A and B are shown apart, each in its own frame.
Chain A
Amino acid sequence: MSAATPPENASQGRPYAVVGARHGKPDALDAMAGLAKYTDDIALPRMLHAKILRSPYAHARIRSIDTSLAEAMEGVHAVVVGAEMPTRYGVIPWTPDEQALAADKVRYVGDAVAAVAAVSEDVAIAACKRIVVDYELLTPLTTPEAALAHPENKIHEANKHGNVTKQVQLAFGDVDAQLARADLVIEGHYQFHGSTHGALEPHCAVAHVDGRGLLTVWSATQVPHYLHRELAKVLEIPTHKIRVIQPPVGGGFGGKSEPFDLEFVAAKLAIKTGRPVKCLYTREEVFLAHRGRHPFDMHYRTGFSADGRILGVDAKSILDGGAYSSFGLVTTYYSGQLLGSPYVFDSYRFDSTRVYTNKPACGPKRGHGSVQPRFAIEVQLDKAARALKIDPIALRRRNFIGENTTTINEFHIGSSGFLECLDLVEAASGWKERHGKLPRGRGLGVAGSTYISGTNYCIYPTDLPQSGVQICLDRSGRVRVFAGTSDIGQGSSTMIAVVAAEELGVHLEDVRVVAADSDLCPVDLGAYSSRITLMAGNACLNAARDLAGKVRQAVAQKWGCHKRDVILADRRAQRLDDPQVWMDITEAFVLAEIEFGTLGSTGSYQTPREDVHGEYRGGTIGASPAYSFTAHIAEVSVDEETGDVKVENIWCAHDCGRALSPVLVEGQIEGSVYMGFGETLMEHHHVMPSGLRTDGARRDSGPGKEGLLAHSSLLDYQMPTSLDTPNLFAGIVEKPDPRGPFGAKEAGEGPLHSVIPAICNAIFDACGVRVDALPVTPAKILAGLRAQRVGGA
């Protein structure tokens, strides 16, 4: 922003009072002191505990289930099987391929087949062992290659095209002609391994039916509204007879973005027993529930002019979907749709195929579907910059798409601080002085990216608002905000409080946010797609401005001035033109309550409906009210004897429009960078494709290890520790977008994308090795160095 125009609250003509201040989260201390009550902290009188019996087979038909021995056990109150909840559901309404418990088939090791409610977890576990399931074994398909090669062995019988869950082919412009006239065509094959979210809190649900017959479900979810809908559908209970409450959540990252077996199980068992029922996942169950980042196999051809302009991009991707669709339809679109910015593509074509496999289902993880293609394209750009002898930052600047423009796939870009992001990381890293001048073994790499601030179109077709907020004021001077938003640690409740406090002139701690309770709060669609700040923020802003207007009017009447001359800030109502004239905000609220009666307002947000998507099938997916922009520079050192890569520094600059809470934005940048760093070098949600045995013999002693997770604990799934984490620089760039509240865009997912290619590009800069198949391991580095020596490089 320019220094000449200080940021200001335009509706009141005064500087910001709360927006942009370096506050923390009002609820942070509760979490830190152990006072926050997570779902597992709920203990209700007479509560039972549920455990879920899971399949040891990756692919099998269920012939029969005998629960009689389990039911006969002392302490067992009820058993439930799939036939009791046969309705198929799925978070995407077009692909309902899941059942609460598998009724006919199991499709991965860990698929749920039955559940027990008992007086304790121990009894429930023992009872699960007494359930006899007769399986007919089917050949497991654990790689996309195998699943595509055997369309007759359908993982889902109802699926139309063998094991293909979705194919998207979209073309914009004449790619073949552009590649033919290109001065340089870079062709690359990239593999993105799978990774999972690693939220600290395991999934947990508690259900209870009260005397009125109201079913209440508490769940560690990030989408209480979708859970509400799917509970109604599967349990065949109208939504008004169900209440969904989301207690504080210990992290989601996309891993709690859809309903899971445990919520249906807890609810069904609560209905069957008439007692409260809790179901808590083990860490292994969290890994099995998964819905993490899809493994991608990507083939890219990118054409460039001699001066480094991108002429055409031809991308082909195979997505390893796992056993269920989850968000896969959207993931398949995102694998291509979100690549059209921040660079201009003269022509673009992508062909993405998502395949069912007998593994835990993949879904959305921070940067849903677009982190993998971003890795590919940003390495492609680096290769081109090398070949054309253009500075990699200069090459990116040269291809910048600009502001207030439209991408080749017809998405509207509003504000963009991409160039400022590049400038910031270039300066912070000392790129100009250091790039190309570092000793061998040390290198710098750059990459850039973009992300959505919510999607213009809801998961289910509707003209209803995406977000609603209700605000009440009263004579206490306190502001109560009721919002359906899901705070999963990202600070959405803080964001709501910031917006309300800014407009109503109170301090952050004067705002009580009641969130994510379907009986108390208006609907918000949930914490996904980086949508809450823009959408719920706007809804809250609308409601707060409405109320602030009433308060200002009441005060103006008292002072005999115009409403516009009254500002609300810092717990005061004040004359804009005479700061000596003021009253306590409580007094102002009292005046308003006298004047207007009980003070309340509502605000809602619906995405703009004019010209907001591409005019083609799928053109709604990826369309967002506003896009964020990010640039990363990574600095690495490579030990050429061991192959160790040490990431020394990562500089990230992120354009979030307006940082409503700079401390929280920095936290999101740091968390994103850390997460992307872990995926690059350590983490791997790895499912064993087949045994080490080479004779191909089927073992008789047991089910065999095909389809087993290589890790089912946080010891074996290696997320970086504080000792592994590089120095992080989190830089905020503010390019306010008129569609965001106070200009704000997203900050929670965008800053992850380009960290991965930045690290890979830095590795090449350090030692000349390209690792195009993630994760980067010392063995791959050594193999690359050996190839270099053989090649005489």
Chain B
Amino acid sequence: MLRLPPFVLHQPATLAEAIALLAQHAPDVRVISGGTDLVPNLKLGQTKVGHLVSARFLEELHGITRTATHLRIGAATGLHALAQDEDVREVLPALAYAASRIASPQIRNMGTLGGNISLDTRCRYINQTELWREALGGCLKSHGTECHVVPGGQGCVAALSADTVPPLIAYGAIAEMVSDTGVRRAPVADLFQQDGTWHVRIAREELLVAVEIPIPAPGTRVAYRKWSVRQSIDFPLVSLAVRLDTDGAALVGGSIVVSALGPRPRVLTLERLAGRPLDEALAQALGQMAYDRARPLPNIPYDAEYRRERMVIEIRRAVRVLIGLPEKPLMLQT
């Protein structure tokens, strides 16, 4: 069995205490919630940190509240609870669905929304044991200087693999962080940077408290699509959300959010397609748009070319479902 390295676990009872601990130990500190990503990464020696601050007992981080205009979801809300929550399922069905597709029931019982947003990037060259990475000679995210995904690459391109991030961005979610300098709010879309060694723009001193998501207008529909080899446990190999804002007959706007590419999701806005009718041609057009502008890399497992093709198919299927067409087209048969 892989061994867990030693660390100091802090279990603050109040938000103030937690913030103070983070400030005191930054940068050698991480927030731990379910630990389903952090603990394996610690065991692999991929993450090295001296202090962990538990989010478990912080009241402000728990619970889902609904107002007339927003849903506020505490960062320590469990993924299973999120997937099962009636308000979330009613108002943000793509988020509930994305949460339900994460890992396995056991991991969803432990894992949290905040943890999923902060999920470390993944790459076939980093999510490995120390022996393996030593044999490889390291990489930009480990102890080396070479990228094995992009020959000659200078920046780490490990992939953002959080299932909840595409729908959160598509729904226009705002993240709320606190630190000893106060409260900071930022769109989830702006939380990620193009650096796979650490891609989340939440400082070590900061604690992600909640996300707030505006309740979508009646004409807005969002779908999440995930492809992985297995129906359970796996991280996504294709992960995307499609948002269509419609007036009932035609497209008004929207976005495609593609994840599992590099460290940052690719957001494609659909405003310039406003006025397009909601038909098969729209599904084809959005698929082509993604094909042209989002390119999977050989960073996470599986043939990158197939993942690119699959991404297009999943977008088409998402659009078809959102506009009320059958998910699969009638097969082209001779």
Contact = CB atoms under 8 A, between A and B. Distances in A.
Interface of A: 54, 56-57, 109-110, 121-122, 125, 202, 280, 282-284, 440-441, 639-643, 682, 691-695, 699, 701-705, 707-713, 715-716, 718, 720-724, 777-779, 782, 789, 792
B195 interface: no
B331 A718 contact: no
A695 to B, nearest CB: 8
Contacts of A703: 134-137
A778 B148 contact: no
Given A282-B129, A778-B310, A779-B303, A56 B146 contact: no
10 contacts: A641-B328, A701-B145, A702-B136, A703-B135, A703-B137, A704-B137, A712-B129, A724-B232, A777-B306, A789-B334
Contact of B135 (A109, A693, A695): A109
B99 to A, nearest CB: 16
Interface of B: 1-3, 104, 124-125, 127-129, 131-132, 134-138, 144-146, 148-149, 151, 229-235, 298, 301, 303, 305-306, 309-310, 313, 328-329, 331, 333-334
Most chain B CB within a 10 A radius of its CB, from A202, A695, A723: A723
A202 B137 contact: no
A347 B144 CA distance: 58
Contact of A704 (B136, B310, B333): B136
B229 A682 contact: yes
A109 B331 CA distance: 47
Contacts of B235: 715
A702 B144 CA distance: 8
A151 B334 CA distance: 51
Contact of B233 (A110, A122, A715, A778): A715
Contact of A721 (B149, B233, B310): B233
A708 B132 contact: yes
B137 A699 contact: yes
A56 B151 contact: no
B301 A724 contact: no
A718 B135 contact: no
A96 to B, nearest CB: 27
A282 to B, nearest CB: 6
B231 A705 contact: no
Given A56-B134, A440-B331, A695-B151, 10 more contacts: A284-B132, A441-B331, A699-B137, A701-B146, A703-B134, A704-B137, A705-B135, A715-B235, A718-B230, A782-B306
A113 B151 CA distance: 32
Given A440-B333, A724-B230, A724-B231, A709 B3 contact: no
A701 B138 contact: yes
Closest 9 CB pairs of A and B: A702-B137, A723-B231, A56-B135, A779-B306, A721-B232, A701-B137, A723-B232, A56-B134, A109-B135
B146 A699 contact: yes
Contacts of B131: 54, 56, 110, 284
Contacts of B137: 699, 701-705
A355 to B, nearest CB: 23
Nearest to A681: B229
B128 A721 contact: no
Most chain A CB within a 10 A radius of its CB, from B138, B229, B301, B329: B229
Contacts, number: 112
A441 B332 CA distance: 12
Nearest to B235: A715
Contacts of B233: 715, 721
A57 B137 CA distance: 11
A500 to B, nearest CB: 38
B132 A691 contact: no
Contacts of A284: 129, 131-132
A641 B301 contact: no
B135 A121 contact: no
Contacts of A720: 230
A642 B149 CA distance: 25
A639 B230 contact: no
Contacts of A283: 1-2
Nearest to A441: B331
A702 B125 CA distance: 13
Contacts of A640: 331
A110 B310 CA distance: 35
Given A682-B230, A721-B230, A642 B310 contact: yes
Nearest to B137: A702
A782 B2 CA distance: 39
B331 A641 contact: yes
A115 B12 CA distance: 42
Contacts of B333: 440
Nearest to B151: A693
Contacts of A722: 232
B2 A282 contact: yes
B132 A709 contact: yes
Nearest to B149: A692
Contact of A692 (B134, B144, B231, B298): B298
Given A642-B310, A715-B234, A716-B301, A701 B328 contact: no
Nearest to B232: A721
A547 B216 CA distance: 80
Contacts of A121: 3
Nearest to B145: A701
A165 B163 CA distance: 48
Most chain B CB within a 10 A radius of its CB, from A702, A722, A724, A778: A702
Contacts of A109: 135
Contacts of B138: 701-702
A789 B310 CA distance: 19
Contacts of B305: 779
Nearest to B6: A122
Contacts of B149: 692
Nearest to A788: B334
Contacts of A695: 151
B230 A723 contact: yes
Contacts of B134: 56, 702-703
Given A284-B129, A641-B328, A641-B331, A718 B234 contact: yes
Nearest to A725: B231
A639 B328 contact: yes
A7 B138 CA distance: 65
Contacts of B151: 692-695
A122 B3 contact: yes
Nearest to A57: B135
A713 B232 CA distance: 16
Contacts of A715: 127, 233-235
A438 B229 CA distance: 26
Most chain A CB within a 10 A radius of its CB, from B135, B138, B313, B333: B135
Nearest to B124: A710
B229 to A, nearest CB: 5
A110 B128 CA distance: 14
Contact of A718 (B229, B303, B306): B229
A641 B326 CA distance: 13
A641 B129 contact: no
Contacts of B306: 643, 777-779, 782
Contacts of A125: 3
